[in-house]
Structure formats: structure tokens, C-alpha cells
């Protein structure tokens, strides 16, 4: 149900020309509560405490397009192609449905040849920072959208810390948070 509402809100945002289909990619950790549950794993950054990770792909202004949930020990890059495939076709303007973004921006964690090739095979030119490039190479200027979206999502304590044992409930709350972000953007358009 959340995905249908999310797709409807994305269509309306596209019709109002509020979507910049310049895609950003990122992932954040949400530590699990005492009950743990499915899709948790030892976090590499939080003293091996069990936790979950939110994987998110947004458009240029930070409006979420697709979201997934995995254990805290999964690398961000393992979810890249799945999230790109989960982007819904977006209606709104005249012409054919937009099935994939114009290009994809990502940070150094996604700098693998097989990811670049898979994106090119889908017709998406990758703009991924190289692993050995110096910081301040310009990617931070376009990555602020996904970081702001994580801040919007994790403003709600229920998403910042995982209290649910069942992963499907936490994923549903994460999708609801994405729907609320789309709704807020849509109401600002009027």
C-alpha cells in the first residue's frame, strides 16, 4: 500500500516539475533494540552491536524514490542495482514514462567496475567518485540531497533506533517516512 501511495505522490511531484531525476545513493545505520530480530547484523562502526541499515536512493532534491532495509553488516554497494531497479516509472509530464534516471551520483563506496558496467547496461551514466581521488573533488555538492533525506527520516526516533523485532514492520515505517517526505514536498508546491 505504501508503495502505491509513494508512486502516486511521485507522479504528482513530477507533474509539478518538482522532481530532478538526478539520482543520489546512500545508506545509514539504525541500531536494533534489545529484541533484535530479522535483518540485523553486527555493525562495523558501532562496536559490533546488532543493527539494521537503511539504503535509500533519492532524486536531485532529496525526494526518496526507493528504500530497502538490510542488516548492519551489509556493505552499501550490495544494494545499488536492486534500488535502481526498484525506482518506479514516473508519470507527470507529457511523453513516455521515465523508467530510469538521467545519471546516478554515488560516493567512493560504490566505485566498482561491475556497478559501473551494470548501470551503463541499463542506460544510466554513472558519476561515481574514484577511490583514490582527494576529498573535495566536487561530489559533496550534489550528495547533500540524500544526506538531508536521511536527516528527515531519522528525525523520527522510531526510524533512528529500531525498536521492532519484525523487519517488515520497520520497513513499513521506513516507507511511511518516505511517503510523508513526498507529501510535505507536494504540499509546499501549492
Tens digits of residue pLDDT in 89-132:
877 667 777 778 888 888 888 888 999 999 999 999 988 888 87
| pLDDT at residue 34, rounded to an integer | 45
Question: In whole angstroms, what is the distance from residue 117 CA to residue 113 CA?
Answer: 6
For residues 52-79, average pLDDT = 87
H/E segment holding residue 20: none
Tens digits of residue pLDDT in 133-186:
777 656 667 778 888 898 999 888 888 888 888 888 888 899 999 999 999 988
H/E segment holding residue 155: none
In this structure, what DSSP letter does residue 164 have? Answer: -
Domains of the chain with CATH codes: 2-188 (3.30.420.10)
CA distances to 20, 35, 44, 78, 190 from 178, in Å: 16, 25, 26, 21, 20
Tens digits of residue pLDDT in 25-56:
566 555 554 455 666 666 666 666 677 888 89
Average pLDDT score over the chain: 79
Amino acid at each position: 500500500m505504501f508503495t502505491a501511495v509513494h508512486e502516486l505522490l511521485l507522479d504528482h511531484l513530477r507533474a509539478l516539475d518538482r522532481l530532478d531525476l538526478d539520482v543520489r545513493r546512500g545508506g545509514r545505520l539504525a541500531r536494533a533494540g534489545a529484541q533484535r530480530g530479522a535483518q540485523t547484523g553486527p555493525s562495523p562502526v558501532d562496536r559490533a552491536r546488532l543493527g539494521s541499515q537503511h539504503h535509500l536512493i533519492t532524486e536531485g532534491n532529496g525526494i526518496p524514490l526507493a528504500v530497502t532495509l538490510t542488516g548492519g553488516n551489509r556493505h552499501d554497494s550490495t544494494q545499488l542495482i536492486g534500488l535502481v531497479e526498484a525506482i518506479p516509472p514516473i508519470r507527470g509530464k507529457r511523453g513516455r514514462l521515465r523508467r530510469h534516471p538521467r545519471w546516478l551520483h554515488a560516493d567512493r563506496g560504490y566505485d566498482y567496475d561491475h556497478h559501473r558496467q551494470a548501470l551503463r547496461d541499463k542506460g544510466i551514466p554513472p558519476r561515481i567518485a574514484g577511490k583514490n581521488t582527494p576529498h573535495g573533488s566536487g561530489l559533496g555538492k550534489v550528495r547533500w540531497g540524500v544526506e538531508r533525506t536521511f536527516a528527515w527520516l531519522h528525525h523520527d526516533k522510531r526510524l533512528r533506533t529500531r525498536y521492532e523485532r519484525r523487519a517488515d514492520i520497520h520497513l513499513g515505517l521506513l516507507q511511511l517516512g518516505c511517503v510523508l517526505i513526498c507529501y510535505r514536498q507536494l504540499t509546499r508546491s501549492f
